[in-house]
């Protein structure tokens, strides 16, 4: 006879009930509310369903928490934080340059100028605030660099084949755009090819623009440096191999050098068309 998920579980122990729901199984359906009442687990069907609901909600929260703490999700958080740091550093660097231009004849631009300015001794209260802002720019840029280093070290551990083919940062960006390694592994290569070009794809579907040939994979040298006439072929070839790499990383996790070799051979044939 099938035993209910609740057998051996204290109705007041939500953790144990959630574990029983998450890990238990039954060989077939049964009138579990009636069985639970007969077995003394609940006083009536309503109490059974209340306990079941509480346990199911607890199990769901634990599953969400575990998923959020997974390696690929940590990679996504790091990538988004890096982008935020880089964007804010550049925006504040423009403010620093504009402010500095009103005070100094030799004012420069960009993050590097902000770094230089941050090292100067202030000569007035306005200079002090300007240099403090420049230091914030330098700190944000430094944090962005540190996050990039973390991504470059972590991506090969999370997705070795994807990192090998796309490079660690682009691989992490693809994972982030898909929402995780598993969702990326389940996407067809055509969808992976245009990740990051959602606005252009939507405009195409609305009938007002051509279909995009690529999304963020354009930053890959195989696509970016291929002449325009063959860029679509290069993007398709790259997306096809990246899709395979994502599936291997998710379902197996072993590094397969043959994927990079096959991609390099395919790109060589595509680029050879330009010399014919």
Smallest CA-to-CA distance from 4 within 43, 65, 59, 48 is with 48
What region, left, alpha or beta, does residue 34 occupy, with left being phi > 0 and alpha being psi -120 to 50 degrees?
alpha
- What CA–CA distance (Å, rounded) separates 99 from 18? 58
- What CA–CA distance (Å, rounded) separates 166 from 168? 7
Smallest CA-to-CA distance from 162 within 200, 208, 125, 195 is with 195
Predicted TM-score of the model (pTM): 0.74
Range 8-26 average pLDDT: 83
Range 139-146 average pLDDT: 97
Residue-wise pLDDT tens digits, 177-187? 999 999 999 99
**Per-position DSSP letters for 143-168, written without gaps between them:** HHHHHHHHHHHHHHHH-HHHHHHH-H
Domains in the chain, ordered, with CATH? Answer: 71-156 (1.10.287), 160-275 (1.10.246.90)
- What CA–CA distance (Å, rounded) separates 270 from 225? 12
Checking if the pLDDT of 69 tops 60, the result is no
Q: State the pLDDT confidence band at 2, using cuts at 50, 70 and 90.
A: low
- pLDDT, residue 14, reads 86
Q: State the pLDDT confidence band at 274, using cuts at 50, 70 and 90.
A: low
Reported residue count of the chain is: 276
Residue-wise pLDDT tens digits, 218-237? 999 999 999 888 999 999 99
- pLDDT, residue 204, reads 60
Mean pLDDT, the chain, whole residue set: 89
Checking if the pLDDT of 1 tops 50, the result is no
Range 99-125 average pLDDT: 94
């Amino acid at each position: 006879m099938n035993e209910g998920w609740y057998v051996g579980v204290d109705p007041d122990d939500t953790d144990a009930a959630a574990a029983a729901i998450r890990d238990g199984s039954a060989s077939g359906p049964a009138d579990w509310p009636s069985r639970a009442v007969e077995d003394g687990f609940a006083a009536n069907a309503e109490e059974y369903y209340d306990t079941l609901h509480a346990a199911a909600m607890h199990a769901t929260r634990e599953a969400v928490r575990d998923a959020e703490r997974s390696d690929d999700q940590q990679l996504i958080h790091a990538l988004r934080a890096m982008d935020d740091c880089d964007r804010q550093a550049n925006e504040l660097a423009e403010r620093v340059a504009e402010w500095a231009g009103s005070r100094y004849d030799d004012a420069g631009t960009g993050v590097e100028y902000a770094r230089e300015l941050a090292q100067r001794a202030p000569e007035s209260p306005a200079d002090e605030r300007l240099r403090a802002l420049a230091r914030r720019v330098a700190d944000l840029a430094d944090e962005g660099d540190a996050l990039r280093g973390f991504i470059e070290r972590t991506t090969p551990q999370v997705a070795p084949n994807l990192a090998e083919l796309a490079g660690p940062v682009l691989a992490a960006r693809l994972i982030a755009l898909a929402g995780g390694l598993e969702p990326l592994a389940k996407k067809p290569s055509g969808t992976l090819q245009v990740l990051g070009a959602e606005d252009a794809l939507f405009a195409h579907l609305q009938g007002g623009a051509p279909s995009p040939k690529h999304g963020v994979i354009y930053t890959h040298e195989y696509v970016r440096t291929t002449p325009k006439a063959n860029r679509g072929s290069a993007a398709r070839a790259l997306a096809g191999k990246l899709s395979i790499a994502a599936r291997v990383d998710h379902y197996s996790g072993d590094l397969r050098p043959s994927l990079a070799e096959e991609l390099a051979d395919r790109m060589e044939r595509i680029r050879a068309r330009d010399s014919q």
